[in-house]
Amino acid sequence: MQIDSLHIHEQEFDLFVNLKPKQKIEFLYDLQSKGMDAALSKVVIPPLQEEFEVEEYNPNTVAQPMTDSMKSPLERLSEITKPD
């Protein structure tokens, strides 16, 4: 395999660095022998994991009034600068 003849663009490189070592070797082999499209088609991308927790909808939830700490800086500023 001749590594120096391979051209990996930025998008493919980002994918490549996240592969496991065995997958990297297989990717490079497929890239050289079959081309980029074939190499990319064999890569299995794991599903994205949620970084936040989503609460279920509860129709019985009562909306709470906003406290000063929950208001945006613009809302607080407009209250402070109101003319008397």
What is the C-alpha to C-alpha distance for residues 60 and 15, in angstroms, rounded to an integer?
45
How much is the pLDDT for 84? 61
Report yes or no on 75 lying in a domain: no
Report yes or no on 52 lying in a domain: no
- 8, with CB counted inside 10 A (0-12, 13-18, 19+), is middle
Tokens 């009562």 label which residue? 62
Report yes or no on 57 lying in a domain: no
Q: Which domain holds residue 34?
A: 3-41
Report yes or no on 49 lying in a domain: no
Q: What is the pLDDT of residues 23-73, one digit of tens each?
A: 888 888 888 888 888 888 888 776 666 666 667 777 777 766 666 566 777
Report yes or no on 56 lying in a domain: no
Between residues 17 and 9, the one the model is more confident about:
17
How many domains are contained in the chain?
A: 1
